[in-house]
């Protein structure tokens, strides 16, 4: 039986990681205002949604008796692709993989689906028919989603089919062409992203600068009184005048990590005041960090148990690959040395040149130069830089409210159209 129709029903569709964390504060705010919220929590999104008090839907909720072939596909694919430590359940993996693959066969035929999946894996999925089932079941008045291919993109297409307004929320690294987000309204983290999306075909009037809820902890943390020295600075004999850099690692070793460590190996002998706190990725192997410390020697030490906010605050600079941690450090006013394989940060609209906060290296020589330029700064310099960046990037504790207001406006516009 369908719920009562009040023209205020929100359907949110999101994957896990930063995407679901962006939407949770928005959804909680909409619920507090009396809106009826339904969430399709895909893959790893279910657990954080439940922890936040939601009862997320999954693909297993739309399985029908006639889906025998889809379930056969799902069981076959799940034997290799189910990640029991991340995804909600084996049943959900079978349902998600099976319905998505069956829909791919509907779109491309048996041979076409096999070839597409062989080439792209799950990235070949655009599960339109499964998403249509959710729209049939929920009958939403507005869609809220983020920038991701597969089900999130499919939900935008289905919303357009049904005349349902859609609101998309862009994460930090969603400005590349493969992350199309053709929603009716698109919430972007900072104004520098607008021109890039306009160049990609989005209308400027459909773009709203809101900020990103994932960074709001930085605003809250910035309001607290700073501690001049952390216990682990003292514990590892890092002097107040030393320049302490936090090296935030990826979960797996790759050419970017090798570039960072090779650059540090060249720089550290020339800069005895430079110390490095090596932080393994939460999903990575601790032994990778231990190997880094062996290579860097006594100038480095392991940091894995201190909270990220306190860790960043205790350091003078951050060294990392392309990641959200780099932006969080910049929002707290720290210098950032970024390493990647190409100079593609402009494609993300990230204003690297503003506020003198970061460098970007794609070779060891560039990395050596960048790390050599890091300097000891005063607390006031860090404070002023962080304040300017937080203001420019709308990090003020209200980004979730601004996004919710875009959703509410979409609902009001639909109501006005229906009344006309």
Q: Does residue 197 share a domain with residue 55?
A: yes
Share of the chain above pLDDT 90, in %: 60
Is the predicted pLDDT of residue 417 greater than 60, yes or no? yes
**Rounded to two decimals, what is the model's pTM?**
0.85
Same domain, yes or no, for 204 and 239? no
Same domain, 309 and 178: no
- 293-330 pLDDT, tens digit per residue, is 999 999 999 998 888 888 898 999 999 987 778 888 98
CATH of the domain at 101: 3.40.50.2000
* Same domain, residue pair 294 and 205: no
DSSP at 59? G
| Nearest Cα residue to 175 out of 159, 155, 160, 190 | 190
Residue 9 has pLDDT above 90, yes or no: yes
Q: Is residue 18 part of a domain?
A: yes
The three-state secondary structure class of 288 is helix
pLDDT per residue as tens digits for the range 72-114: 999 999 988 876 656 668 899 999 999 999 999 999 999 999 9
Confidence band for 351, pLDDT divided at 50, 70 and 90: low
Q: Is residue 236 part of a domain?
A: yes
Question: How would residue 355 be classed by pLDDT, with cut points 50, 70 and 90?
Answer: low
pLDDT confidence band for 223 (50 / 70 / 90): confident
Identify which has the larger pLDDT, 344 or 379: 379
| Tokens, residue 58 | 């999954």
215, 327 contact by CB (below 8 A) = yes
Buried b (16+ CB within 10 A) or exposed e, 388-405: ebbeebbbebbbbbbbbb
Let me know whether 205 and 345 are in one domain. no
Split at pLDDT 50, 70, 90, the class of 1 is very low
Same domain for 234 and 308?
Answer: yes
Which residue range forms the structural domain that includes residue 256?
A: 217-393
């Amino acid at each position: 039986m369908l719920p009562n129709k009040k023209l205020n029903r929100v359907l949110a569709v999101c994957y896990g990681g930063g995407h679901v964390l962006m939407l949770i504060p928005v959804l909680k705010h909409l619920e507090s205002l009396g809106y009826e919220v339904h969430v399709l929590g895909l893959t790893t999104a279910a657990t954080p949604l439940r922890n936040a008090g939601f009862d997320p839907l999954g693909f297993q909720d739309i399985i029908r008796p006639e889906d025998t072939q889809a379930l056969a596909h799902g069981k076959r694919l799940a034997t290799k692709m189910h990640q029991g430590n991340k995804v909600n359940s084996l049943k959900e993996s079978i349902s998600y993989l099976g319905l998505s693959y069956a829909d791919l066969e509907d779109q491309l035929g048996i041979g076409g689906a096999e070839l597409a999946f062989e080439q792209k894996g799950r990235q070949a999925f655009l599960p339109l028919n499964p998403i249509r089932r959710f729209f049939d079941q929920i009958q939403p008045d507005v869609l809220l989603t983020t920038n991701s291919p597969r089900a999130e993109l499919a939900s935008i297409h289905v919303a357009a089919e049904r005349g349902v307004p859609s609101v998309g929320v862009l994460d930090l690294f969603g400005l590349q062409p493969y992350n199309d987000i053709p929603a009716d309204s698109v919430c972007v983290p900072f104004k520098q992203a607008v021109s890039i999306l306009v160049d990609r075909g989005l209308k400027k009037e459909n773009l709203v600068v809101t900020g990103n809820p994932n960074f709001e902890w930085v605003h809250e943390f910035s309001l607290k009184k700073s501690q001049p020295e952390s216990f682990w600075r003292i514990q590892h004999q890092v002097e107040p005048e030393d320049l302490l850099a936090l090296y935030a690692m990826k979960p797996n070793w790759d050419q970017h990590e090798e570039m960072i460590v090779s650059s540090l190996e060249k720089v550290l002998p020339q800069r005895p005041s430079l110390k490095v706190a090596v932080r393994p990725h939460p999903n990575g192997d601790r032994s990778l960090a231990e190997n880094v410390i062996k290579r860097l020697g006594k100038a480095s030490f392991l940091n894995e148990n201190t909270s990220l906010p306190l860790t960043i605050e205790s350091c003078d600079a951050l060294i990392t690959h392309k990641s959200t941690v780099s932006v969080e450090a910049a929002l707290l006013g720290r210098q950032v040395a970024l390493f990647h394989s190409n100079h593609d940060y402009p494609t993300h609209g990230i204003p690297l040149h503003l506020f003198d906060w970061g460098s970007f290296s794609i070779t060891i020589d560039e990395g050596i130069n960048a790390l050599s330029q890091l300097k000891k700064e005063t607390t006031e310099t860090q404070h002023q830089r962080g304040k300017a960046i937080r203001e420019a990037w709308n990090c003020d504790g209200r980004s979730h409210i601004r996004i919710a207001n875009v959703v509410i406006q979409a609902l009001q516009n639909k109501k006005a159209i229906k009344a006309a």
